[in-house]
Amino acid sequence: MFTKDIYENRRQELKKLVSDGIIIILGNADVSMSYPANIFEFRQDSSFLYYFGLSHPNYAGVIDVDNDKDYIFANDFDIDDIIWMGPQPSVKDLSAKVGVESTAEFSEFSILIKKAISEGKKIHYLPPYRAKNTILLADVLDMKVSDVKPNASEELIKASVKLRSIKSDIEVAEIEKACEIGYMMHTTAMKLAKPGTMESEIAGRIEGLAISFGKMISFPVILSQNGQTLHNHDHSQELEEGRLLLVDCGAENAMNYCSDNTRTLPVGGKFSDKQKAVYNICLKANKECIKAVKPGIKYRDIHFLAAKIIVDGLKEIGIMKGDTDKAVAEGAHTLFMPHGLGHMMGLDVHDMEDYGENFVGYDEETTRSEQFGTAYLRLARELQEGFVLTVEPGIYFIPELTAKFKSEGKFTDFINYDLLEKEYKNFGGIRIEDDILVTKDGSRVLGIPIPKTVEEIEIFMAE
């Protein structure tokens, strides 16, 4: 946990950005796996962590903008809990650590909110993403469950995006700790990527590594020889010499800050010439885009820089043809990279995605494209110093998408379908992802450099 002034300042800043009323920041409750007491690992809500810092289930935070007062509502443990869980700190003691003096039982939360509603106060809350909090809000706000999310406070969302988007030095230091765990996960995967090993063994070992540092993975491990499936959580294949293994994983550090990297490895340790050629196109896009990151540039423009590098590279090996700018403008590159170049990262691996992607990745000047592929961009807006984001170009050979585009007669001026179908059907996919801090005049890659070039990966895997 940070010192209490950090949380006090964050709540003060939020009060300055929200005109009036009451702000609700709900913590998370435990989630059951197979019967009520058999629970998943607890993960606190990231906004609650940001403003109230405490990682305990069944807490609610309230910020009274009008009266400049902050509250925490939670129940103290009784002797029955203590028998099973050991001695527990009191809600009062914990709340004092984050600068909140006013605490009360959880049941008082709805009493305070209902009173505020009866007094005509504005109630601000963030869009809930867990059923229990949605139902709690529906009950407290006397609303239909289906009305809760659409009525979340846009004013609060925008204010919180403004604050959470800019990472302070102490937050960046926490993210770097998460990156260090990520480094160990990736280099462990590199050591284990040998023919005959099951994907599930590597996925399990690297997930265990994340857990061994006290928290957990920042998202379910993506690890597959079928890397053309963008988020492949199926780990049921045995590794085969000569195939590519895409590993996309990250960890949360002790304070729930995240990392997220992707590397693509040759099973057995040596890239073929064909793999090397495609890999180096993706690597060039990764490196050039990192170089292009700076305050004031729109991330969508960097996304299109990646697209152009990929089209130019694929033209050199005969898969694409024609005018690069025209190919990108028409969206031909989306056959190979049907996703955005990256996303914001912080307390969530897709930072604040629960608020709504358009609030986080877009702004008044940057609206979402409707073109296939480009419409999926999570981050398009102008970058600012202090943003932490991922740069993750990819080149994928998705047979189903190739067949669809071909049957629709799409992009025949730009794509050599014959070569694709003859030689790249079973190629898989490549993604190379780093975590980047936007600095005053450029960017900095966070964490320990994970082997990334063909040579670095081959040397590391041979050791």
The contact set with ligand GLY (CB under 6 A) reads: 219, 248, 260, 343
At closest approach, how far in Å is the CB of 297 from ligand GLY? Answer: 21
Q: Collapsing DSSP states into helix, strand and coil, what is residue 177?
A: helix
Interatomic CA distance for residues 294 and 382, integer angstroms:
9
The secondary structure of 113-163 as a DSSP string is HHHHHHTT--EEEPPP-SHHHHHHHHHHHT--HHHHGGGS-HHHHHHHHHH
Supply angle C-alpha 187, 188, 193, rounded to 5: 100
Choose between 15 and 186: whose C-beta lies nearer to ligand GLY.
Answer: 186
**Closest CB to ligand GLY among residues 303, 343:** 343
CB 219 to ligand GLY: min, Å: 5
Nearer to ligand GLY, 70 or 348 (CB): 348
- Write the Ramachandran bin of 243: left for phi over 0, alpha for psi from -120 to 50, otherwise beta: beta
Whichever of 300 and 343 has its CB closer to ligand GLY, that residue is 343
What is the C-alpha to C-alpha distance for residues 248 and 312, in angstroms, rounded to an integer?
A: 25
Please, what is the minimum distance in Å from the beta carbon of residue 246 to ligand GLY?
Answer: 11
Judged by beta carbon, residue 199 or residue 248, the one nearer ligand GLY is: 248
- Measured over the CA atoms of residue 381, residue 384, residue 387 and residue 392, the dihedral's sign is positive
Task: Report d(CA 172, CA 98) in Å as an integer.
Answer: 20
CA gap 207, 351 in Å, rounded: 21
Residues 6 or more apart from 144 whose CB is under 8 A from it? Answer: 138
Three-state DSSP at 345 gives coil
Question: By C-beta, is 153 or 218 nearer to ligand GLY?
Answer: 218
- Cβ 228 to ligand GLY, closest distance in Å? 15
Angle between helices 273-292 and 454-462 (to 10 degrees): 120
Map tokens 């809930």 to a residue: 128
Q: How far is the CB of 395 from ligand GLY (least distance, A)?
A: 16
Minimum CB separation of residue 391 from ligand GLY in Å reads 12
Shortest Cβ distance from residue 30 to ligand GLY (Å)?
24
Nearer to ligand GLY, 6 or 230 (CB): 230
Whether the CA torsion 278, 284, 290, 296 is positive or negative: it is negative
Q: Which is nearer to ligand GLY, 183 or 219 (CB)?
A: 219
> Quick count: other Cβ atoms within 10 Å of Cβ 19?
12
- CB of residue 429 vs ligand GLY: minimum separation in angstroms? 13
